[in-house]
Amino acid sequence: MNSNDRSELLDLERGLPTTGRDVDALRALRYPKMTDAQYVRFLASLPPPDRALLASRRGPRGEAFSL
């Protein structure tokens, strides 16, 4: 096979059969939407980044500019 070979189009009706139970299960697994306050609390719950690791990463180089 080489990269010029065409792939067969995916037929979602035939190739990916789902039932009503499948759809219900996927809907039950959805995460509820977060409010802004909930998102901020989630971010605050994450451990702080390692300063030494961040300092060791290569950052932007060159002359600073403003738009």
Buried b (16+ CB within 10 A) or exposed e, 30-58: eeeeeeeeeeeeeeeeeeeeeeeeeeeee
pLDDT digits (tens, 9 = 90+) for 3-42: 677 777 777 667 777 889 998 998 888 888 899 999 999 9
pLDDT digits (tens, 9 = 90+) for 52-67: 998 898 888 888 888 8
Indicate the pTM of the whole model.
0.39
Residue 2: the pLDDT is 61
3-state secondary structure of 39: helix
Q: How far is CA 29 from CA 23, 42, 43, 54, 62, in A?
A: 10, 19, 22, 35, 47
